[in-house]
Structure 1
Amino acid sequence: MPKIFSFASINIDEVYSVPHIVCPGETLTSTRRQQHAGGKGTNASIAAARSGHSHVTVIGKIGPDGLWIRTLIESTGANIDHITVLEKTPTGRAIIQVDDAGENAIFLFPGANHMLTQDDARKALAVSSSEGDWLLLTNETTAVVEAMRMAKDVGMQVLWNPAPVDSRVVANGLVDVLVVNESELAEIARQQKGKEADGGGLGDCAKLARQVMLWMDCHVIAVTLGSKGSLGLVRRSRLNTHEITIHATEDNNSNSDSSSSSDDDIVEVRMACAPVGKDQVKDTTGAGDTWVGYFAAELARKQGDSPESIGSAVTSLTPSMVEHAMRVATYASGLAVTQMGAVTSIPHRAQVDEFLKTKKAIQNNPKIK
């Protein structure tokens, strides 16, 4: 199975429960405060490890105040040999408001996350990466593009979640799999065209995703759409010899959670939201990162089953592989919103499998920390 290297942001999350997200000029009293491990890179890395992937390496930097997070990451089974402790720089922080409906608002202090360099990427990738391994990145650290270039130089596959979107980070031609939410997709499209992009309905999202896919020259793009589920576009290789029938098509019955359609060499996959009731939603923090981590791990797992899709043949990632990974990621993130916190809400694979089987979103494992 291809290994996963996560060029990761590592944060201490301070979570405040509030009646509503604070407005400009407003002073609001929080009803609860919690502190958790966080950072988009940390969350996605732990999600990949908890999915059952046995080779997840985290590359990151923390201050002395973040040693407990390094220990937590190690407890998930991820490799922490490339998490460096900076004695004079604090760990990154995220200040998170969570309202009564479970929605959140976040601002970041980057701290040690902005001390990552291309040398950190080179040292980690030179030691243990192989052709066909995955590099997983977000936009919460420095040296993002440099790390991508090094990964491509050694034949790795790059999965990028460009959050937060930064117009200074241009990665065209370096990304194999792009994962964005609806607003991130619209912002990337706006930057591409230099004007406001429409972001209204699923049809518009599909159109924007196709434009961004072609512009960035990536092979797969996945768009998470909250309560509307997710959308995937896959470039199909005519040389692909291991394609299997996709799980569902537009002609299937309405009870299916996914559908697909093909336009030229791009296959569109639509995935419904996991069956989580509104009364079960407690906190959406980290749900998107859970989706990313599980998605990456499932792509790697499926490639392990079909080794002809690894490495230089990344274009032969099939719609079926992507559809499977989207489904597992959707159910994992569905479970995540039923719990408070980011890392604390990321489910283990056995729980996700049970949810997929029963369609009942229940997290009751006391071992999750």
Structure 2
Amino acid sequence: MQRKIVSLASINIDEVYHVPHIVKPGETLSSTHRQQNAGGKGANASVAAARAGGHVSIVGKIGKDGIWVRDLLASSGANTDQITVLDDTATGHAIIQVDKNGENSIVLFPGANYQINEEDARRAFAQYGTGDWLLLTNETTGVDEAIRQARSCGMQILWNPAPMPADMMSANRPVDLVDILVVNETELLHLAQQFDNIDLCEGSDERYAKIAQQIIELFGTHAIIVTLGSEGSVGLVRRASTNSHEVRLGNQDKSPSKDEIVVIRMKCAPIKKEQIQDTTAAGDTWVGYFAAELARLQNGSPESVGSLASITPAMVEHAMSFATYASGITVTRLGAFPSIPIRHEVEAFFKSKELP
């Protein structure tokens, strides 16, 4: 069964300014270079998933000023039939500073991204069913209802809840309906801090894994992935595995059981510091490639047919590794869409460990 991916996507026009350092409060700083690119966390992840070979459809809204962005999304291989052009609202915009080390700072204007509603999700999900994937971030409206509708359709849900609001849990967000959460270390801490009963494990060598384990147990999520920048990533998945990269939290002598939490640790791709140019779309590339690769693995797995319990640690580990190499290429290039590699480049890098 071909697993389809529907992306509830933020779509932005990025104004990128290259600066010696990120501007400080009260400081006026001259930019050395300016670019206008297509972007948005959801759009970036959608492009990555499509370039990875995924069957991707995008649900989103833009203004007339963003029609060229929609055309670029289509040229990436994604289906854009469900992107609506609004007459009276501008496309979302992002002001991005990129410093000499490739680090960035971003200011968002949501624009048309905040016009997505319950009806948009209802129309979109009419074409999808059991085992298909919903991919979404927190840069649009309609997220909670989209998750609930996707679950009612039997879809699998991968949520990258970024940007992470300080009051995310106060509105009863449906985290318990999500199959896979993908967060960075800052977002993980922000989420954990919203619960009095979660130990933040300060000073622990296993801090992020231990916090993620508490969250996965709290919500019953199938998997949580924490991306750690230059430190790689750590994934926690339900069910045991004997893979050499994996360890089990708790009693190491305990026999494998269905409910055990398997920890997968992944190093960064072999990128030298001097090769890094721009980290803007690195996380989004990781998410899109991870989703597409996981869907591809499920397509070829006999135990996956009609089953949401087929997300095995081995599948997650491979998808994490492949996504790591994809985002490794991304940071060596400028811009958002232009930096996202196509599948054969990632396959070559994954095999040779040499940048394409």
TM-score (norm 2): 0.93
Task: Report the count of equivalent residues.
Answer: 342
Distance 1:282 1:201 in 2: 32
Distance 1:229 1:202 in 2: 15
Contact 2:17 / 2:97 at 8 angstroms: preserved in 1? yes
Matches within 5 A, 1:152-167: 152-166=151-165, 167=167
Q: Which structure 1 segments of 5+ residues have no match?
A: 238-242, 250-258, 363-369
> What's the CA shift for 1:315?
2.5
- Counterpart of 1:135, as a letter, is L
Going from structure 1 to structure 2, the CA distance change for 1:351 and 1:198 (only over 3 Å counts) comes to same
Distance 2:41 2:133 in 1: 17
Q: Aligned with 1:43: secondary structure? A: helix
Contact 1:9 / 1:113 at 8 angstroms: preserved in 2? yes
> What's the CA shift for 1:309?
2.4
> What's the CA shift for 1:196?
8.8
Q: Quick one: which of 209, 213, 222 aligns to 1:210?
A: 213
- Counterpart of 1:216, as a letter, is F
Which residue number in structure 1 is paired with residue 310 of structure 2? Answer: 316
Q: Quick one: which of 261, 264, 276 aligns to 2:247?
A: 261
Q: Deviations over 1:68-87 (max 9, x none)?
A: 01000111111111000001
> What's the CA shift for 1:102?
0.3
Matches within 5 A, 1:225-236: 225-236=228-239
Q: Which moved more, 1:167-176 or 1:107-116?
A: 167-176
Which residue number in structure 1 is paired with residue 58 of structure 2? Answer: 58
Distance 2:82 2:350 in 1: 34
Q: Aligned with 1:65: secondary structure? A: helix
TM-score (norm 1): 0.90
Which residue number in structure 1 is paired with residue 44 of structure 2? Answer: 43
Matches within 5 A, 1:88-127: 88-126=88-126
Going from structure 1 to structure 2, the CA distance change for 1:86 and 1:20 (only over 3 Å counts) comes to same
Matched, 1:338 2:316: no
Distance 2:304 2:205 in 1: 29
Distance 2:13 2:226 in 1: 27
Contact 1:59 / 1:82 at 8 angstroms: preserved in 2? yes
- Counterpart of 1:184, as a letter, is E
Which residue number in structure 2 is paired with residue 23 of structure 1? Answer: 24
Distance 1:82 1:276 in 2: 37
Q: Aligned with 1:352: secondary structure? A: helix
Distance 1:12 1:277 in 2: 29
Matches within 5 A, 1:188-227: 188-193=191-196, 197-198=200-201, 203-227=206-230
Which residue number in structure 2 is paired with residue 2 of structure 1? Answer: 3
> What's the CA shift for 1:212?
1.3
Contact 2:198 / 2:214 at 8 angstroms: preserved in 1? no
C-alpha root-mean-square deviation of aligned residues, in Å? 1.6
Which residue number in structure 1 is paired with residue 137 of structure 2? Answer: 138
Contact 1:236 / 1:315 at 8 angstroms: preserved in 2? no
- Counterpart of 1:355, as a letter, is F
Which residue number in structure 2 is paired with residue 271 of structure 1? Answer: 266
Report sequence identity in percent: 59
Which residue number in structure 2 is paired with residue 181 of structure 1? Answer: 184
Distance 2:278 2:203 in 1: 25
> What's the CA shift for 1:198?
4.7
Going from structure 1 to structure 2, the CA distance change for 1:310 and 1:109 (only over 3 Å counts) comes to farther
Which residue number in structure 2 is paired with residue 14 of structure 1? Answer: 15
- Counterpart of 1:113, as a letter, is N
Contact 1:49 / 1:76 at 8 angstroms: preserved in 2? yes
Which residue number in structure 1 is paired with residue 291 of structure 2? Answer: 296
Contact 2:148 / 2:174 at 8 angstroms: preserved in 1? no
Distance 1:29 1:171 in 2: 44
Q: Which runs of 4+ in 1 moved over 4 A?
A: 198-202
- Counterpart of 2:43, as a letter, is T
Going from structure 1 to structure 2, the CA distance change for 1:201 and 1:183 (only over 3 Å counts) comes to farther
Q: Aligned with 1:120: secondary structure? A: helix
> What's the CA shift for 1:316?
2.8
Distance 1:181 1:164 in 2: 10
Distance 1:56 1:103 in 2: 29
